[in-house]
């Protein structure tokens, strides 16, 4: 069964091909939580590392033609070694080029889960949800959005916002934990994609539980960080969020989780 304790015991290697803005924050966040990050961006290196990895993150935040090919190479290698890959389609609704890249990856390579905000997931399924680039967007029914995307792609979907939703094989839950400070620190969404990638391979027979645990650990740590001294200030919050990721436990999740079944 997927849990924080299991993550810390296994300390899975997580290959993060992510955007330049968030690499340091992502690496520190994963180490604090208990995973082992590697920011590898070279095909030959990936061939050696991915055979030992528990997960792969593809985050298209700083997109170039070279990176597009790197994503393809990484996904081919990951599939060869049966490593689950998480796609973070950053700002895919903001430009035709980004959408073309994401469509290529989803249509031609094996993706194990998609993690995006409401605007990004809405763009993937053809819904016009207002958002500005990488900013999240509020929707009336985030559970329904997750379900639509899950049915379209037939892979697990994680949609984030003020309320988060997870959809796997037609089953949907919404998660009502988190902090309003999260959007005020650049990289919190991108780090979440890496956290999802660190959990997704822990229990391949129960991906739903793995995704739920990843979001709850992340969001509850975010709540704890805001409550610490000066946690209402972005600079302090960033540091305290890393500290809280280090300290959050399975007991905290059981005590504080706010999960609803979507009907």
Q: Is 181 annotated as a binding residue?
A: no
In the block, residue with structure tokens 């972005």 = 234
d(Cα 93, Cα 90) in Å, to the nearest integer?
8
Rounded to 5 degrees, φ, ψ at 171 are: -95, 135
Is residue 230 classed as helix, strand or coil in its secondary structure? coil
The pair of three-digit structure tokens given for residue 48, joined into one six-digit string: 């050696």
pLDDT in tens, the chain (263 residues): 568 999 999 999 999 999 999 999 999 999 999 999 999 999 999 999 999 999 999 999 999 999 999 999 999 999 999 999 999 999 999 999 999 999 999 999 999 999 999 999 999 999 866 544 444 455 679 999 999 999 999 999 999 999 999 999 999 999 999 999 999 999 999 999 999 999 999 998 899 999 999 999 999 999 999 999 999 999 999 999 999 999 999 999 999 999 999 86
CA–CA distances in Å: residue 49 to residues 187, 191, 245: 24, 20, 25
Give percent helix, percent strand, percent coil of the chain, each to the nearest 5: 50, 15, 35
d(Cα 178, Cα 33) in Å, to the nearest integer?
16
Is residue 187 classed as helix, strand or coil in its secondary structure? coil
b/e map of 151-185 (b: 16 or more CB within 10 Å)? eebebbbbbbbebbbbbbeeebbbbebbbebbbeb
d(Cα 20, Cα 226) in Å, to the nearest integer?
26
Q: Is 115 annotated as a binding residue?
A: yes
Q: Which residues contact 261 (CB under 8 A, 6 or more apart)?
A: 172, 173
Rounded to 5 degrees, φ, ψ at 167 are: -130, 125
Q: Is 188 annotated as a binding residue?
A: no
């Amino acid at each position: 069964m997927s849990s924080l304790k299991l993550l810390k015991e296994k300390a899975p290697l997580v290959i993060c091909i992510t955007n330049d803005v968030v690499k340091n924050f992502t690496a520190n966040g994963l180490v604090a939580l208990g995973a082992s990050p590697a920011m590898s961006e070279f095909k030959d290196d990936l061939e050696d590392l991915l055979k030992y990895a528990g997960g792969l993150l593809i985050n298209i935040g700083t997109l170039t033609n070279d990176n597009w090919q790197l994503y393809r190479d990484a996904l081919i290698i990951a599939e060869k070694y049966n490593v689950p890959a998480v796609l973070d389609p950053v700002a895919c609704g903001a430009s035709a080029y980004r959408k073309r890249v994401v469509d290529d990856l989803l249509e031609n390579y094996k993706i194990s889960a998609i993690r995006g905000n409401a605007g990004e997931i809405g763009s993937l399924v053809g819904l016009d949800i207002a958002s500005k680039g990488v900013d999240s967007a509020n929707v009336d029914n985030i559970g329904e959005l997750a379900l639509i995307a899950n049915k379209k792609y037939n892979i697990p979907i994680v949609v984030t916002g003020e309320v988060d939703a997870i959809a796997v094989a037609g089953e949907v839950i919404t998660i009502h934990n988190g902090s309003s400070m999260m959007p005020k620190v650049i990289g919190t969404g991108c780090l979440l994609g890496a956290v999802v990638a660190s959990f997704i391979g822990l229990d391949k027979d129960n991906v739903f539980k793995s995704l739920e645990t990843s979001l709850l650990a992340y969001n509850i740590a975010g709540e704890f960080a805001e409550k610490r001294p000066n946690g209402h200030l972005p600079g302090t919050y960033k540091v305290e969020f890393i500290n809280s990721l280090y300290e959050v436990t399975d007991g905290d999740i059981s005590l504080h989780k706010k999960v609803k079944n979507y009907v």
